[in-house]
């Protein structure tokens, strides 16, 4: 098998690097996870995005162990679920995730949702700082945070999150949060990068025209749009062919006009939950 082109990396605000293209495992069946993540590692992915709530950390861990890939060549993210934001719970939760993953540390640990009705995301963030200090997470960040919530944890702690992982795809480009994040040294991770297949993204003429022009697929064009926008992205697929397709995006570049035409698709169309509603 030929050596795959590695994904480019970005440098986070704490000095660690992250592969800009990874593999997400939301809704990957726990019973299938080891096989599917093994496929992704064989294709060349080195960045895996999981979460405690996905119930598949063990499968991710088994695939990592079986791969023989040196730990320092991998970038593994997992997330703290909403009902474990109290500091004592957060400390237990990271230990449980590490045990399931079979790892001594994760590269990135995220608060999964702000869960504003709980009202303790700042306390959770201070626990995340302790988890980082204990060496259990190299980097810490957040997910689904709105601008005022980012402002609150930045003002109330000594650590700026390295990323904010948010729903983001061409119809929902999240310019306000992205602009704030980048101005504060926070990278944007785009979840649902293909719109979770919930709208006709891959059939829109601006996307299919670019795909035809480059001899690539519509999904490859959308992934390329994310990368050229500066987003970190980890499309999910259960299908080996699509897993490989989604990683085969380093041999072409969208033109400025193509980028602008996909930028123009933003309609503020969220396909999943608003962060205020997940508690
Ligand atoms: P995606 O936008 O990655 O879409 C996944 C869907 O697209 C699946 O139905 C998949 O089908 C299909 N698909 C994948 N590749 C292709 C392709 N090349 N052509 C056509 N269809 C394709 O949605 P996700 O929600 O999975 O987002 C990605 C990752 O983001 C998650 O796996 C998770 O890690 C993270 N995430 C984080 C959240 C958070 O709250 N922090 C929330 C949601 C996701 P098939 O499997 O059949 O190929």
Dihedral of the CA atoms 196, 46, 93, 126 (nearest 10)?
-90
pLDDT of residue 3: 67
Averaged pLDDT, 231-249: 98
Average pLDDT over residues 232-259: 98
138 CA from centroid of ligand 1 (Å): 25
The two tokens of residue 201 are 């993204």
Query: Which ligand 1 atom is at minimum distance from the Cα of 220?
Result: 18
Tell me, yes or no, whether 151 lies in a domain: yes
Tell me the pLDDT of the chain averaged across its residues.
Answer: 97
Range of the domain at 83: 9-194+230-238
pTM (global) more than 0.95? yes
* Range list of β-strands (E), the chain: 9-11, 17-19, 23-24, 47-49, 75-80, 106-111, 137-143, 163-167, 187-191, 232-233
Domains: count for the chain: 1
Domain assignment of residue 91, yes or no: yes
Q: How far is the CA of 2 from the centre of ligand 1 (A)?
A: 26
pLDDT above 80: residue 4: no
Residue 251 within any structural domain of the chain: no
- Give the Å distance between the CA of 130 and the centre of ligand 1: 31
The verdict on residue 2 lying in a domain is: no
Query: Per the residue annotation, which of 45, 54, 109, 121 is the catalytic one?
Result: 54
Domain assignment present for 122:
yes
The mean pLDDT value for 102-123 works out to: 98
109 noted as active-site residue: no
Residues in contact with ligand 1 (CB, 6 Å cut-off): 24-26, 49, 112, 143-144, 165, 191-197, 202, 219, 234-239, 242, 245-246
Task: Give me the phi and psi of 145, to 5 degrees please.
Answer: -85, 140
Atom of ligand 1 nearest to the CA of 77: 34
Whole-angstrom distance, CA of residue 34 vs CA of residue 66: 9
State pLDDT tens for residues 34-88.
999 999 999 999 999 999 999 999 999 999 999 999 999 999 999 999 999 999 9
Q: What is the distance in A from the centroid of ligand 1 to the CA of 179?
A: 24
Index of the ligand 1 atom closest to the CA of residue 190: 30
In-domain check, residue 156: yes
Contact of 271 with 178, CB cutoff 8 Å: no
pLDDT given for residue 5 in this prediction = 83
Best mutation site among 27, 196, 236, 273 for ligand 1 pocket (most ligand atoms within 8 Å of CB): 236
- Is 54 contained in some domain? yes
Q: Is the pLDDT of residue 276 over 90?
A: yes
pLDDT at 266 over 60: yes
Contact predicate 190/168, CB 8 Å: yes
Residue nearest to atom 3 of ligand 1 (CA): 235
Q: Are 104 and 98 in contact (CB under 8 A)?
A: yes
* Three-state SS annotation for 44-85: CCCEEECCHHHCCHHHHHHHHHHHCCCHHHCEEEEEECHHHC
d(CA 230, CA 10): 9
CATH of the domain at 52: 3.20.20.100
14 SS3 class: coil
List pLDDT tens digits, range 183-228: 999 999 999 999 999 999 999 999 999 999 999 999 999 999 999 9
Residue located via tokens 């939950």: 273
Predicted local distance difference test score (pLDDT) of residue 39: 98
Phi, psi angles (nearest 5°) of residue 23: -130, 125
Let me know if residue 53 belongs to a domain: yes
10 and 159 in contact (C-beta within 8 Å)? no
Task: Say if residue 1's pLDDT is above 60.
Answer: no
- pLDDT tens-place string over residues 127-142: 999 999 999 999 999 9
State which ligand 1 atom lies nearest to the alpha carbon of 49. Answer: 34
Nearest C-alpha to atom 29 of ligand 1 is from which residue? 24
123 C-alpha to ligand 1 centroid (Å): 30
Q: What is the pLDDT of residue 91?
A: 98
Q: Can you tell me the mean pLDDT for 247-251?
A: 98
């Amino acid at each position: 098998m030929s050596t795959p082109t590695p994904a480019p990396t970005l440098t986070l605000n704490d000095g660690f690097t992250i592969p800009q293209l990874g593999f997400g495992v939301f809704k990957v069946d726990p019973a299938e996870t080891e096989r599917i993540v093994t496929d992704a590692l064989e294709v060349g992915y080195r960045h895996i995005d999981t979460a405690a709530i996905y119930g598949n950390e063990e499968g991710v861990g088994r695939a990592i162990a079986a791969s023989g890939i040196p730990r320092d060549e991998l970038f593994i993210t997992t997330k703290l679920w909403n009902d474990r934001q109290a500091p004592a719970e957060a400390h237990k939760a990271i230990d449980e995730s590490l045990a399931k993953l079979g790892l001594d540390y994760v590269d990135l640990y995220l608060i999964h949702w702000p869960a504003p009705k709980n009202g303790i995301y700042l306390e959770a963030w201070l626990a995340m700082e302790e988890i980082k200090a204990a060496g259990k997470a190299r980097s810490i960040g957040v997910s689904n945070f709105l601008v005022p919530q980012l402002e609150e944890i930045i003002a109330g702690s000594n650590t700026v999150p390295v990323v904010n992982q948010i729903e983001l795809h061409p119809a929902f480009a999240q310019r306000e949060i992205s602009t704030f994040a980048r101005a504060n040294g926070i990278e944007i991770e785009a979840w649902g990068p293909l719109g979770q297949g919930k709208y006709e993204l891959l059939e829109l003429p601006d996307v299919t025209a670019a795909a035809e022009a480059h001899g690539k697929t519509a999904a490859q064009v959308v992934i390329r749009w994310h990368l050229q926008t500066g987003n970190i992205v980890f499309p999910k697929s259960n299908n080996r062919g699509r897993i490989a397709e989604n990683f085969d995006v380093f041999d072409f570049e969208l033109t400025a006009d193509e980028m602008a035409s996909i930028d123009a698709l933003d309609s503020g169309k969220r396909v999943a939950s608003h962060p205020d509603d997940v508690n």
